[in-house]
Structure 1
Amino acid sequence: MHTNIGSSMTPTKAQWREAVLSRRRGLDAATRAAESAAIAGFVAELGRQLGPDATVCAYVPVGREPGSTEMLDALLGAVERVLLPVAREPGPLSWAPYRGVEHLVPAPFGLREPAAPYLPPDAARDAAVMLVPALAVDRRGVRLGRGAGFYDRTLALAAGARLVAVVRDDEVVDELPEDPHDVRMHEALTPGGGLRTLDTGGHRNVPE
């Protein structure tokens, strides 16, 4: 993916965010629907591989994020428990079980989440896999988020989970800027390529 920033300097995270969000805004409805269906198919296969005793942390895609509640329903039929994030300042994320789209309620930051009661942040320790929203991820596992910091404060609590960034195919890039607190993803999930392993290079995957 090209950022189209028009500079020979290394793009900042803010510039990357602007470029990715601009590209996502240009997607037509048919493309978004096809990509969401493909992601749901890959997530269903992932759920079958994990088995009925597994817990998966996921999220509700909003706006132009890749994916849809289809992927949550696919998981719900395959694993024991699907946990969705509850975002409240200052973080880390709390969690609540997903029981179907009809049980989601409007939430702060334009999100949708399950209604209370909520589970504490350390519920993420039970997860075999955490599906993580991202604007982009590089081949080393460096993730570009929206900058709010909720996942930065959360990912270390899921130290035993496979961390999977869900992005579009052209949002897997060669290199993104990385901060010391960033936690690298293990895999990327894209509509065209499915799950692909990222080369973290033995990077210590816990923030200092």
Structure 2
Amino acid sequence: MIPSDKVALRAEMRRIRRSLAGNGAVAAEAVARLADDLPEAVAIAIYRAMGSELDPAPLAGALASLGRTLCLPVVIDRSAPMIFRRWTPGEPLEVDAAGCPAPLPLAEVLKPDLILTPLLAFDDFGGRLGQGGGHYDRTFAAMPQALRIGLAYAGQRVERLPVEPHDIALHGVLTEVGYTPARKAAPA
């Protein structure tokens, strides 16, 4: 049973994600083979994996080989939306204000068509449970035109996540078993 309290849910989903990460390299390679399954986009924001997050590095290589422009998120102000800077696999990175690897300040700032986001849990209705800092929700609100796609292990799926007014739904999720568009929630 998944607890409904977000703090307890985050703790449980961190535990689950750590257990899934034992097979992380295989899952990351499987996701890379599914690069063509993502919705069409020219500029794609990815992320650099931290901790037990599914590593998008193989997917980044696959997307670059398909001619997609890549960018990474950059936190400049912890209470503001992130920006995205152009990045090619292998280019140097520095730590941003949130302690995450990010492109150097001279890199071009882009507005991505598609944002791949890490998560702790997801549901079939576009629900996403993040780390709790609000970085992606603030960014999604500032970039409503961008497709929002979660990147996760299939085992991070839950039946239904609690949703708050500030939570912005995903358009879909890519896992090692494929891409799944979000379903519309049934009327109450």
TM-score higher than 0.5 here? Answer: yes
- Find the aligned partners of 1:164 and 1:16 in 2 and give their Cα distance: 21
Aligned with residue 5 of structure 2, among 1, 12, 22: 12
How far 1:96 moved relative to its partner? 0.6
- Find the aligned partners of 2:185 and 2:108 in 1 and give their Cα distance: 33
1:206 aligned residue: none
Aligned with residue 165 of structure 1, among 125, 136, 150: 150
2:92 aligned residue: 103
Question: TM-score when scaled to structure 1?
Answer: 0.79
Aligned with residue 69 of structure 1, among 52, 57, 63: 57
Q: Does residue 75 of structure 2 align to residue 84 of structure 1?
A: no
Contact 1:188 1:196 in 2 (8 A): yes
How far 1:80 moved relative to its partner? 4.1
Aligned with residue 153 of structure 1, among 138, 141, 151: 138
The one-letter amino acid of 1:58's match is I
1:33 aligned residue: 25
Q: SS of the counterpart of 1:83? A: strand
* Greater relative contact order, per chain length (Cα 8 Å cut-off, separation 6+): 2
- Find the aligned partners of 1:19 and 1:104 in 2 and give their Cα distance: 31
2:47 aligned residue: 59
How far 1:161 moved relative to its partner? 2.5
Contact 1:184 1:200 in 2 (8 A): no
Compared with structure 1, are the counterparts of its residues 180 and 159 closer, same or farther at alpha carbon in structure 2 (3 Å cutoff)?
A: same
Compared with structure 1, are the counterparts of its residues 117 and 202 closer, same or farther at alpha carbon in structure 2 (3 Å cutoff)?
A: farther
- Find the aligned partners of 2:133 and 2:159 in 1 and give their Cα distance: 23
Q: SS of the counterpart of 2:9? A: helix
Cα RMSD (Å) of the superposition? 2.3
- Find the aligned partners of 2:148 and 2:129 in 1 and give their Cα distance: 14
Question: TM-score when scaled to structure 2?
Answer: 0.87
Contact 1:50 1:79 in 2 (8 A): no
How many correspondences in the alignment? 186
Contact 2:21 2:52 in 1 (8 A): no
Identity among equivalent positions (%) equals 26
Q: SS of the counterpart of 1:151? A: helix
Q: SS of the counterpart of 1:179? A: coil
Q: SS of the counterpart of 2:29? A: helix
Q: SS of the counterpart of 1:50? A: coil
1:195 aligned residue: 179
Contact 1:186 1:200 in 2 (8 A): no
How far 1:190 moved relative to its partner? 0.8
- Find the aligned partners of 1:70 and 1:42 in 2 and give their Cα distance: 11
How far 1:67 moved relative to its partner? 2.3
Q: SS of the counterpart of 1:154? A: helix
